Structure formats: structure tokens, C-alpha cells
Structure 1
Amino acid sequence: MTQHVLPPIRPEYDRALPPFVEAPVERALPLRVRLWQLGFLRKGLIIAALALAWEGLARWQNNDLLLPGCLATLSALTEGVASGELLDRVRISLTVLAQGYLCGIGLAFLLTTLAVSTQAGRDLLSTLTAMFNPLPAIALLPLALLWFGLGSGSLIFVLIHSVVWPLALNTFAGFQSVPETLRMAGRNYGLTGLAYVWQILIPAALPAILSGLKIGWAFAWRTLIAAELVFGAASGRGGLGWYVFQNRNELYTDRVFAGLLLVIAIGLVVENIVFATFERLTTRRWGMVR
């Protein structure tokens, strides 16, 4: 009969630990390093360098009709804001822009929802984007003027065209990149149709959707300014584009630059405050992007 031999028992012992010594506190980073880590400060330095170069070039050119300096442009901008004219033009432009932008977003999500749901929707989206995405939105303005007249309807039409295709392409690409495990989880919960898109695809594809929203915003903003230049020539009314057009005709070059500077400033605010805040509260907070 075989006897089972028990393994030897390991002896227990106490290990004397060395006395605790507080770890040395790391020294704080130098002030210049901490300041350089601030993104808004770095961007502000870039803008200040560009402004200095602009002012130096204008002084070297010495012709305010061709190139007014940065200080003269800021003075004209201050006068326009104080008089209320520029604020009124900004209100007109942003009102039309919001209408076209929101309509474009709605149409883009409708097309992408159909594309991820049915084969016919995918064929429709790929065909329409191949046809109309390369077509400049401003090229449709003559037709828009014929169809909708000299009003905001023509502007909204070209804005929708400038927004819907880049947003639809980015959104659909984001939907296509959603991992199969998330898709299977959504199907296991019985999600279909809009519920599946809203609860599974949109959160997972949010970085791509945000990229499409940024591209659509940029396309819509520059299309609106260009279209308002035509409206200025046609009917003498409009927003910031009309302000630039009118002052160019009257040879107020400083006001032209003031209008363009305001266009740039609005773009910076939307990009670095509105979109950046939304991205920080969503994709960066969820660890989806660095």
C-alpha cells in the first residue's frame, strides 16, 4: 500500500522592515515650463507674432489703401462694433448660418441612418456624395437665386449643400469603424433602427462625427461669406460678407480688413471654445481621444 507523503511545511518568520522615511517631494516645474504647457497661451503667442508681422509689413508698405496696419484695422473694428453696425451684420450672418447648419446636420444624419440600416441607403449615400460632394456650394448660388429669390432661402440652400456631404461622409465612416463587439451588444439588447443608431453607433463614432461637424462648420461659414458678397452686389443687403463688399466699393480698406478680422475671430471662438468644450465634455472625458 502506497503511503502519501505530505509536503514539508514552510516555516513562518517575521521580516523586519526598515523605518519609514518620507519620500522627497518633487520640486515644482519652473514657471516658464508651466506657462508653456497652457495651450491658449501658445496660440496667443502665435497670433501676436502674426499681428506684429502684419503691422511691420504694413508700415514697410506705407499704403493704407492697399494694406492697412493691424492697429488701424483694430481701430476700424472698434468703431464698427461701437456704432452697432458690425454687431447687426454678425447677427444676420449667424442667424442664417444656424438655420442652414442645423438643416444640413438633420439631413446628413437621415442619410447616414438609412445607409447603416439598408443596402439601398448605402447605395444612395455613396451615389449622392460622389455626385455632389465635389460640387462647390457657391456654384449653386445662381440656381438658388432663380429658385428661391433674393432672400435667406437661397443662402440656406447653399449652406445645406456645404454641410451635408462632408458631415455625412465622416459620420458614415465613423459608423463603419464601430467595433463588432459593440454592434453585437446592441443587437443582443434588441436595439434596432433609430434606437440602435442613437444608443450604439453615435456614441462610439462621436470623434468622427465631431470631425465632420467641424468641417461642415468651416465650409458653411466660408460659403456664407462668399454668398453674401454676391447678395451685396445683387440686393445691397446681407451680413458680414455684404459689409466687406460695401466697404471695398467705397475704398474703406481698413473696414474691409476689420470685417475679415471679425470673420476670423468668430471662427476661432467657435473652434477653440464651442467645439473644444463639447469635445472636452464628451470624447476626451470618455477617453476616446487624446
Structure 2
Amino acid sequence: MSLSPPVRQEYEVALEPFTQSELVRDISLPRRIWQQAWVRKGVILLALAVLWELAARWQNNDLLLPSFLQTANAFIDGIASGELLSKVWISLTVLIKGYLIGIVLAFGLTTLAVSTQLGRDLLSTLTAMFNPLPAIALLPLSLLWFGLGENSLIFVLVHSVLWALALNTYAGFLGVSETQRMAGRNYGLRGLRFVWYILIPAALPSILAGLKIGWAFAWRTLIAAELVFGASSGKGGLGWYIFQNRNELYTDKVFAGLAAVILIGLLVENLLFNTFERLTIKRWGMQR
């Protein structure tokens, strides 16, 4: 007796194609709004603000933890009086100078590293020596060498940016495929032209990550340095603003200064880095 599986009769189901109206109807208006990144991030920020306000009301001590509304009022008052804006401008001026110098030096070191063996040894040795060294630990030396001025801050800012960016950039250069390298050499690209047209576009995700890390390190170093020795050339930035108000027990203004640092970080991340990322590596299909 032979066993055979039952034969199922074949059939075909005709499917109606979707119309444009049905596709539009499937994506409702709330869903389309929620798909916007700025809406989701705004909801997250609103939730954090509500939690902050509830925690402050539960703590019931303005000296230890001012509420979100008190901090917002202090922030608005600082903007209206121009005091907070002037502090932000002073800090940003110093920060951008140190950040740009650090970028130039980092790209110089990594270009030398991918060009010569001596450059590779130099970069690996310097990063092993100085990358673990906190930038703020160099502040006493910078004060001794450059005095109480802007140059001292720029020195420690360059240190905070240089090594993180150099390491990320060099790691990105090493990750460039041999096929892309051979294509560049076939076109006769050598030296700086090879780095500019082949290595930098291919390693752009790593470079962008290094730029973000360097920006965050620079902010931390600047605020810490201003908290340590205060004003620079008779002018104080956000760190000095926070330090002064802490001494005078204006905790709401201290939080307003911290909020200014956070808001600048959010603006730079979403308007500068994300826009650059969307126009380059995401458009090129290098990142999701």
C-alpha cells in the first residue's frame, strides 16, 4: 500500500491594485505628523521639562533645584537684559577659534599619517601620550605660558579637539576599501589630492563622528576652564556666568546658564551636523 500526499487543487486569487486615495488614507494625519523627527524630539523635551517641574515641586527647595518655569524666567530675563547673550558670544568666539585650529591640526596629522610611515608612528605615539590626558589638566601650564587670556583657553581647547578628531579620522582612512584606493591611484591622484578626493569622502562618517565628539569635548573643556580661573582678559563667558551666580546663590541663573549650553548643543547638532549628514553621507547611501 503506497502513501501519497493529498493533491490540493490550485487556485488563483486576483488582487485589486491599490489606488492613490487608499494609500493616502492609510497614512493618517497624526501618523504623518509623528513621522517628523522634530515632533518626536519636541515630545521628548516636553516630557523632560514636565518631569523637571514635578521633581522641583516635590523637592520644594528653590536653592537646590529651581523649577523649570523659574529657570525659563531666568533664561528669558538673561536674554532680555543682554547679559546671557554677551556671555554666550564670548564663549562661542573662543570655542570656534580653538575648534577650527584643532580641526586643521588633526587633518594635518592624519594626512601625514596616511602618507608616510613616520607620520603613522608620530600620530600613534602622540595620541597614546596625550589623548588620555584631560585638557583641563593642562590649564595651569597654559596659564603659565600664555597668561590670563584667550590664548590659554584656546590652547586647552585645541588639545581637547585634536586627538579625538585625529583618531576618528585616521580610523576612517584605514577603513577605506582597497578598491577605492586603487581607483584613485588609477586616476593619478597622489598626496593631498588623493586624501581630498578619495579618503575624505569615503571616511566621512568617521570624520563626522570625530567632529561631533570634538565639539562636545571643546564645550566641556571651555566651561570647566572658565569655572576654574574665571574671566578671560576681563571678560567672562558662560562658565564664568555660572560660577558668579553660584557664588551669589542664584540657582535659577545657574540652571539658565546650563540650559544655554544645552540649547546651543541641540541647535548645532540638529541644524549643522544633521544637515551636513543628510546632504552628504545619507544622500550618498553611506549611512541609514
**In 2, Cα distance between equivalents of 1:282 and 1:234:** 38
Matched residue, 2:283: 285
Consecutive unaligned residues of structure 2, counting only runs of 5 or more, are 1-15
The residue identity in structure 1 corresponding to 2:257 is: G
The Cα shift of 1:28 comes to: 3.4
The residue identity in structure 2 corresponding to 1:75 is: N
Which of 89, 92, 106 is the matching residue for 2:90?
A: 92
1:121 maps onto 2:135 in alignment: no
**In 2, Cα distance between equivalents of 1:23 and 1:75:** 53
RMSD (Å) for aligned C-alpha atoms: 1.4
SS at match of 2:26: coil
1:1-290 equivalence runs, <5 A = 23-25=18-20, 26=23, 27-232=25-230, 237-290=235-288
Q: What is the percent sequence identity of the aligned residues?
A: 73
**In 2, Cα distance between equivalents of 1:234 and 1:181:** 50
The Cα shift of 1:22 comes to: 6.8
Matched residue, 2:7: none
The Cα shift of 1:36 comes to: 2.0
**In 2, Cα distance between equivalents of 1:112 and 1:223:** 23
The Cα shift of 1:231 comes to: 2.5
The residue identity in structure 2 corresponding to 1:201 is: L
1:201-223 CA deviation, whole Å, 9 max, x = no partner?
A: 00111111000000000000111
CA contact (8 A) 1:231 1:237 kept: no
SS at match of 2:264: helix
The residue identity in structure 2 corresponding to 1:180 is: E
CA distance 1:236–1:58, change in 2 (3 Å): farther
**In 2, Cα distance between equivalents of 1:257 and 1:192:** 52
| Number of residue pairs aligned between Structure 1 and Structure 2 | 270
Moved more, 29-38 or 221-230: 29-38
The structure that has the greater radius of gyration is: 1
SS at match of 1:289: coil
The normalised TM-score by structure 2 is 0.91
**In 1, Cα distance between equivalents of 2:213 and 2:232:** 29
The residue identity in structure 2 corresponding to 1:73 is: T
The Cα shift of 1:234 comes to: 8.7
CA contact (8 A) 1:173 1:208 kept: yes
